[in-house]
Amino acid sequence: MFKMVESCIKSLTNQLKGNKKIIQELQASNESLQASNKGLQQNNRNLQAIVERLQAIIEKQEKEIEKWKLAANKGRELLCKSLLSRHCSKNKTGLPMEVEKEKDYSEELNFNCSSSSSEEIKSLKKAVEKLSADIKRIQTSLSYTPCERPLPDFYT
The most confident of 21-30, 106-115, 118-127, by mean pLDDT: 21-30
Number of H helices, E strands in the chain: 3, 0
Higher pLDDT, 17 or 154: 17
Question: Residue 11: beta bridge partners?
Answer: none
Domains of the chain: which residue ranges?
Answer: 2-155
Q: Is 66 helix (H, G, I), strand (E, B) or coil?
A: helix
pLDDT at 95: 46
Closest C-alpha to 29, from 45, 21, 16, 42: 21
Q: What is the pTM of this model?
A: 0.41
| HSE (side-chain half, CA atoms, 13 Å) at 94 | 0
| Model pLDDT for residues 57-90, shown as the tens digit of each residue | 988 888 888 888 888 888 877 777 776 666 555 4
Q: SS3 helix, strand, coil % of the chain, rounded to 5? A: 80, 0, 20
The Cα–Cα gap between 69 and 80 comes to: 16
* Torsion sign (Cα): 55, 116, 77, 74: positive
DSSP for 76-121 reads HHHHHHHHHHHHH-B-TTSSBPPPPPP---HHHH----TTS-HHHH
Burial class (CB in 10 A: 0-12, 13-18, 19+), 122: exposed
